[in-house]
Amino acid sequence: MSKNSSKKQLITVVGPTAIGKTAMAIQIAQHFNCPILSADSRQFFKEMRIGTAVPSEEELQAAKHYFVQNISIFDTYTVGDFERDAIALLDELYKNHDTVVLVGGSGLYIDAVLKGFDDFPDVKSGVREELVTQYNLHGISYLQQELQRLDPEHYKNVAKENPQRLMRALEVCISAGKPYSSFLNIKKNSRNFTPIIVGLEAEREVMYSRINKRVAIMVDAGLIDEAKTVYPHKHLNALQTVGYRELFSYFDGEQSLDFAIEEIKKNTRRFAKRQITWFKRNEATKWFNFKTPHNIVINYIKEQL
């Protein structure tokens, strides 16, 4: 009988991009004979395989995956939608499994499943589109200044170099006529599972080297051609992301290809730093060096059951 026999377990694997989360999650899922839920918000989209490092066909066959390339860049899909869908799926999966694996680098989406998401008002039609237009015209400084004006409290805590986070807060401020921060922490949902969270990490120089290598592999695998196929839709929310925006600037003639690739590496490294900062806030996470043999991580998990 487990310590938490009244509840199921959600084994959650977190960490920065390119650290080896997919491989570790598959090893864990195979050991416990259970499925995997992806919480990598960029891997949801069918049209973005290479630039989001979607698991290979072999990896997808090694364990049942959910929320991988399940929607289109033309679909509107929020973190609230993901919370609703993930919790509903977990309710179904727990009928046949005591354990499920959750893996991903999108901290907001991980938290939405583990803790529940704050209840925000609906965004008015056209608000996000206008913010994207202003961002493309005036850059990130426009978003920063607007959020500082509309919600100085949230501005103090937000990732100021992340346009997605800035636009998300602004669209709530504009739609509701109230600060984004006023909707935070109003409610938290109870969960019928116990989370066991493991994190993978590496020294910064090692992490940066792995990121640079992954970008080079993506380019060799056809990232430029993939970006060209979605370039006509570059205004879409899903494409306002590292690995694609830099190439769109190249296609627009604003920078050379070599420069664009170096920018992808640099912006991915910045993204990884933000991921680490986010995940380190959760003191319940047990951290392992990314080279730790999977059986040691699995033994730790079994001790928590």
Residue numbers in the known binding site for substrate are 17-22
**Cβ atoms within 10 Å, residue 66:** 16
Residues in the chain: 305
Rounded distance, CA 2 to CA 304, Å? Answer: 8
Rounded distance, CA 40 to CA 95, Å? Answer: 24
- Annotated binding-site residue numbers: 15-22
Q: Helix, strand or coil for residue 287?
A: strand
Rounded distance, CA 32 to CA 44, Å? Answer: 25
Between the alpha carbon of residue 150 and those of residues 73, 171, 183, 214, the distances in Å are 29, 11, 14, 38
* Residue whose pair of structure tokens reads 């709530």 in the numeric block: 172
Contact between 292 and 13 under an 8 Å Cβ cutoff? The reply is no
Beta bridge partners of 45: 71
* Residue whose pair of structure tokens reads 């346009």 in the numeric block: 163
- Annotated binding-site residue numbers for ATP: 15-22
Q: What is the DSSP letter of 48?
A: -
Kindly provide the residue ranges of all beta strands, DSSP E only, lying in the chain, ordered along the sequence.
8-14, 36-38, 65-66, 99-103, 193-201, 286-289
